[in-house]
Amino acid sequence: MNKFSEAAEVYGTFRAYTSVIMLSIISILVIFFSVKTLINNRNYIETQATVTSANCKKNHQNNSKGKTNVMYKCNVNLDYNTPNATEKTTIKTNSNSEYEQGDILTIGYNKNDNKDVLTNFKLREYGPIGAIMFMLVITSLSFVNLHFVKKYKSVARVEGVTGFISNVVRR
């Protein structure tokens, strides 16, 4: 029984260190790309655009609950003002809204390229912030787990036994 306890402890410690290393690497990558996305989003300036014309096609899509959603695929021509001029552009949308001439949309245009327009540029901030928060919490929890595995042999044994059992059950 003593050899089994020691083996479980070693395996549990190995799993804890491996988790910390892998989650740290993944976190660094996710945080890097999330910060890069947030920086790119700062180039977009909010403005109001007027729909000059829209060509929309109605589509019926079934969702996971068996209900049918009506979606519109549209090519929307827009006019919007920048500090230097009035710009014209065409965007493609796939939404539950059918656009008509005269509709007002809130858009974001890239200050470095006025033709680069997004309709959901504000929503693009929530994903990266959520990803950063999630990775920080998960990585912190893995460090807490490592602390307890190093401090208490019984925790390391439990980690090793549960890890071994989960590996056997999967196969």
Domain boundaries, the chain: 2-40+127-170, 44-111
- Note the pLDDT of residue 34: 92
Q: Is the dihedral of CA 161, 165, 168, 171 positive or negative?
A: negative
Q: Which residues of the chain have pLDDT under 70?
A: 1, 121-124, 170-171
Specify the DSSP class assigned to residue 39: H
CA distances from 140 to 15, 37, 117 (A): 16, 23, 38
Angle, in degrees to the nearest 10, between helices 153-170 and 2-41: 80
Beta strands 104-110 and 113-118, pairing class: antiparallel
In this structure, the number of other CB atoms found within 10 A of the CB of residue 51 comes to: 18
Specify the DSSP class assigned to residue 123: G
- Note the pLDDT of residue 123: 64
User: Alpha-carbon distance 117 to 99, whole Å?
Assistant: 17
User: Alpha-carbon distance 37 to 54, whole Å?
Assistant: 30
- Note the pLDDT of residue 28: 96
Total-model pTM: 0.65
- Note the pLDDT of residue 111: 85
User: Alpha-carbon distance 125 to 132, whole Å?
Assistant: 11
